Amino acid sequence: MGNPMKIRAAVKDGVTEVKILMQHEMETGMRKDADGALVPAWFITDVKAQYQGRTVLEAQFGQSISKNPYLVFRFQGGAAGEKLTVSWVDNKGDKRSDEATITA
């Protein structure tokens, strides 16, 4: 399992803005190590954010996304004090899921 994500979610005028910093190496599979051998590809493939059981974001990433991806999105609804869950899966089957409380 990867390191915890840093998630901030705030609601204003009925719109919730979510900022996520995912801790992941995001190797493309094209970089070589000190010995000249290719470093195997290792990257996040799927990201999902859910609020009250409803999917508010679903994304597919590829190997071109940079190390420690930063993602910002907005959705209609959300209430201060409610929980938002963000999860990801990488190409090696590793998974991570974290929760954040929406603030006003």
Report residue 72 as tokens. 């910002």
In 3-state terms, what secondary structure has residue 89? strand
Domain ranges of the chain: 6-101
Please give the full DSSP string across 28-74, using - where no structure is assigned: -S--B-TTSPBPPPB-EEEEEEEETTEEEEEEE--TTSPSS-EEEEE
6-101 has which CATH code? 2.60.40.10
The pLDDT profile of the chain, 104 residues, written as one tens digit per residue, is 678 999 999 999 999 999 999 999 999 999 999 999 999 999 999 999 999 999 999 999 999 999 999 999 999 999 999 999 999 999 999 999 999 999 99
Per DSSP bridges, beta strands 95-101 and 54-60 are unpaired
